[in-house]
Structure 1
Amino acid sequence: MAKAKNSEKAIKPNIFMRIGLFIKQIIDELRKVVTPTSKELFFWSLAVFIFVLLLMALVTGMDYGLGKLTLWIFG
């Protein structure tokens, strides 16, 4: 009992159908995006700015401290 190969083989969509599906999925995802209010945007920007300043201070302190330690060890 041999089955026909056509019924077992899945039809692969051509390149244009795949590109169209991809663009449709992008548009569907973009519809889900929520735009923040100006107040939310300000506070999130402020939080990021403070976080970056703290990281800069941490890296600067480590650089200075490790530099002094290296000079103290190797003179």
Structure 2
Amino acid sequence: MAKARNTEKAAKPNVFMRIGLFIKQIIDELRKVVTPTSKELFGWSLAVFIFVLFLMALVTGMDFGLGELMLKLFG
């Protein structure tokens, strides 16, 4: 029974080995990243900018509309 515990402990890597493995996996994943072209970067940036403007307009409209509704209901 005592030998089984020792083999379990030996099979489990220590903290520093796990941190090293984690960093190695991060580096491996970063090697897979593809840098966008300037055209793609501009297109996605424009899409995000338009989406944010749309959400700002939506929230502003809801804020104004609900504010007016509350003024009419409660006076």
Q: Give the TM-score category using the shorter length.
A: 0.7 to 0.9
Distance (whole Å) between structure 2 residues aligned to residue 60 and residue 31 of structure 1: 42
Percent of aligned pairs sharing the same letter: 77
RMSD: 1.8
Distance (whole Å) between structure 2 residues aligned to residue 67 and residue 48 of structure 1: 28
CA shift, 1:20, in A, is: 1.0
Where in structure 2 are there 5+ consecutive unaligned residues?
none
**CA shift in 2, pair 1:73/1:12, >3 Å:** same
The answer for the alignment partner of 1:53 in structure 2 is: 53
TM-score scaled by structure 1?
A: 0.86
CA shift, 1:8, in A, is: 6.0
Distance (whole Å) between structure 2 residues aligned to residue 62 and residue 6 of structure 1: 63
More helix by share: 2
The answer for the alignment partner of 1:28 in structure 2 is: 28
Aligned length: 73
TM-score scaled by structure 2?
A: 0.86
Distance (whole Å) between structure 2 residues aligned to residue 66 and residue 7 of structure 1: 67
